[in-house]
């Protein structure tokens, strides 16, 4: 186990890739395939402090996404990203693939925020591709519902030269002007702040970065969130530096894509990411 500032993390290295996962939030904050560019963006201004989410990497938004729908005092994006997870296991599946399992279970502290018993598991597969599987199991005697996201921050060369394919023709909610039922026409580009939730997405999404494409495949998700704050908002965020080098494309279950779990039932949200 290693440490950066106040946070302990696991460092995995195999023959093709390396990764770093903080115990707080089961937060993957570094991933790189040998010979390829770093995949994940982490702000130089990000804090690595207990109880504070890391600005970058792949935060886990769970069991709700964004602000809580009925209590604004509850933590934004839920409590999973700021909770201390348990490192359950590291398996070397082959010379070129390693699996790390992280676990979060209910405690009196989580029960005070969200009154359910649960088991949350994150499996991270580190190899030529990066794959994350977030599995929720209802350990309670009553059903519960969740919204969630794997809030991935991608490292890019220049947001103003970056486009996204795969969302053409999809309906989206535009948070910037609070409008529903917009339709994406052509590729997405970034001339200003973009904060959108795309609906009914079942196909791959491709980020066209300078000299590199990033392919995102999602299972168990019907919504994709696309976000870049633009300069004006980024300048107001003390823990975000370099907005022109980041882009969030999030595999999610949000808005109407709510998942309801009966007792002892499980649900998995999976994302697989590759660089071409």
Residues classed as catalytic: 151, 250
The two tokens of residue 154 are 């991608």
Measure the CA–CA gap between 255 and 36, rounded to whole angstroms: 35
What are the Cα distances from residue 260, in Å, to 3, 63, 102, 218, 234? 37, 11, 23, 19, 35
Written as one string, the DSSP assignment of the chain is -EEETTEEEEEEE-SSEEEEEETBTTEEEEEEETTS---B-B-TT----TTS--SBSB-EEBSSSSS-SS-TTSPTTBSGGGSBPEEEEEEEEETTEEEEEEEEE--HHHHHHS---EEEEEEEEESSSEEEEEEEEE-SSS-EEE-EEE--EEE-S-GGG-EEES-TT-EEEETTTTEEEEE--SSEE-SS-EEEEEES--S-EEEEETTEEEEEEEES-SEEEEEE-HHHHHTT-TT---GGGEEEEEEEE-TT--EEE-TT-EEEEEEEEEE-
Beta bridge partners of 197: 173, 225
């Amino acid at each position: 186990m290693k440490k950066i500032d106040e946070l302990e993390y696991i460092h995995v290295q195999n023959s093709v890739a390396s990764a770093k996962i903080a115990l707080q939030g089961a937060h993957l904050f570094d991933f790189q395939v040998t010979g390829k560019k770093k995949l994940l963006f982490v702000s130089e201004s990000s804090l690595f402090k207990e109880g504070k989410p890391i600005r970058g990497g792949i935060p886990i938004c769970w069991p709700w996404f964004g602000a809580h729908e009925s209590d604004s005092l509850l933590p934004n994006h839920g409590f999973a990203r700021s909770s201390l997870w348990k490192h359950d296991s590291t398996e070397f599946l082959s010379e070129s693939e390693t699996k790390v399992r992280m676990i979060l279970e209910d405690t009196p502290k989580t029960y005070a925020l969200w009154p359910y018993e649960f088991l949350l598991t994150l499996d991270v597969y580190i190899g030529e591709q990066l794959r994350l599987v977030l599995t929720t199991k209802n350990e309670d005697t009553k059903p519960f519902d969740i919204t969630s996201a794997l809030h991935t921050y991608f490292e890019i060369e220049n947001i103003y030269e970056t486009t996204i394919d795969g969302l053409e023709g999809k309906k989206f909610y535009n948070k910037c002007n609070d409008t529903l039922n917009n339709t994406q026409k052509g590729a997405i580009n970034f001339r200003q702040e973009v904060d959108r939730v795309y609906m009914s997405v079942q196909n791959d999404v491709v980020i066209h970065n300078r000299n590199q494409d990033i392919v995102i495949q999602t299972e168990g998700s019907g919504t994709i969130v696309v976000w870049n704050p633009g300069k004006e908002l980024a300048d107001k965020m003390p823990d975000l530096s370099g907005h022109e080098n980041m882009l969030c494309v999030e595999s999610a279950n949000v808005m109407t894509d709510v998942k309801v779990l009966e007792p002892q039932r499980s649900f998995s949200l999976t994302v697989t990411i590759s660089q071409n």
